[in-house]
Amino acid sequence: MNSPWADWDHVLKVDPDKDLVDDETFDDVCETGTDAIEIGGTLDVTSDKMRRVIDACRTHDVPLYQEPSNPAVVVDDDALDGYLVPVVLNAGDVAWVTGAHKEWVRIDTIDWSRTTTEAYIVLNEEASVAELTDADCEQTADDVAAYAKVAERMLGQEVVYVEYSGTLGDPEKVAAAHDALEEATLFYGGGVHDYDDAYLMGQRSDVVVVGDLLHDEGVEAVRETVEGARDGKAEQ
């Protein structure tokens, strides 16, 4: 697939509802070496908060994507390279499979050339996203592999996203998803706190997504994960 994320190793996810650590700026964020910045969060996100991050990052060369949690927070801005829209495959609430997406299409004009869905498999039952979507997180490695195949082969998804938000995931399940895919790109997110975590998941996915670390520990910690993700992927 000729997609920009096919060449990525690392994505930094910025939650617009959270602050940066003391004295750090979005200029610092954009200079971490990450392959792309994804702006999105699960709770208390607004379009104004989204715009604040977009405006702060717009002058930098790092690709900038919005991950909207609902249609009300979508921002139309030329500074964005595109929109990455979650579709939660194991959601119990159909709103997070097609419901919210249908509403977005109904009320707005979509720039389809810049819009891509991400097939999420949510696996940490304690995460806010699991609670919000009523996700069934009791999945074996075989189940996760099957979801990945459904995403790619039946639903034509370019991105499959194994999400463990808040905790480091089961390497076996991440690897199972990766091995099940032929061309789609596997994103992994959740609990990556240092070089070793990023290296571990970089060996088992295509793109390591780091989020909370930025807001909790800052840009130097993020830079370590950039190195870890790239080194891990090189060992695949």
Residue 23, number of CB atoms within 10 A of its CB: 7
CA angle at residue 114 from 153 to 178, to 5 degrees? 35
Is 70 or 83 the better-scoring residue by pLDDT? 83
All domains in the chain, ordered by first residue? 8-234 (3.20.20.390)
Three-class DSSP category at 10: strand
Contact 98, 90 (CB under 8 A): no
Contact 216, 192 (CB under 8 A): no
Three-class DSSP category at 72: helix
Mean pLDDT to the nearest integer, 102-131:
94
Contact 124, 137 (CB under 8 A): yes
Predicted confidence (pLDDT) per residue in 124-175, tens digit: 999 999 999 999 999 999 999 999 999 999 999 999 999 999 999 999 999 9
Predicted confidence (pLDDT) per residue in 176-220, tens digit: 999 999 999 999 999 999 999 999 999 999 999 999 999 999 999
DSSP one-letter code for 74: -
> What does pTM read for this prediction?
0.95
Across the chain, mean pLDDT equals: 95
- The DSSP element (H or E) to which 173 belongs, if any, is helix 171-180
